[in-house]
Amino acid sequence: MRNRKEAPSYQDLVKEEKSDLEKKVFKLQIFVEKDEKFKWLDGYVCKDLVNQLSVMEDYLEILTRRVRRFDY
């Protein structure tokens, strides 16, 4: 009989998603704020990346609140 590994709970999945998103937000923040290549991109591309970062930060805030509620 095989030893089945228990599937992660939805809470574990949310925590993993939050962790992955934190890494992506950090990388995009560095690119937008400090990378010289960003300044040379087309204006529309820059605007889209800034908007994307904003949406990602909003989503990260939602995931953070959800994870905090797991402890209650």
pLDDT in tens, 8-62: 999 999 999 999 999 999 999 999 999 999 999 999 999 999 999 999 999 999 9
Place of tokens 């890494």: 23
Please check whether residue 39 lies inside any domain of the structure: yes
In a domain, residue 1? The reply is no
Domain hosting residue 49, numbered range: 29-72
* Domains: count for the chain: 1
- Among 30, 53, 26, 58, CA closest to 38: 30
Residue 7 belongs to some domain of the structure: no
- If pLDDT is split at 50, 70 and 90, which confidence band does 1 have? low
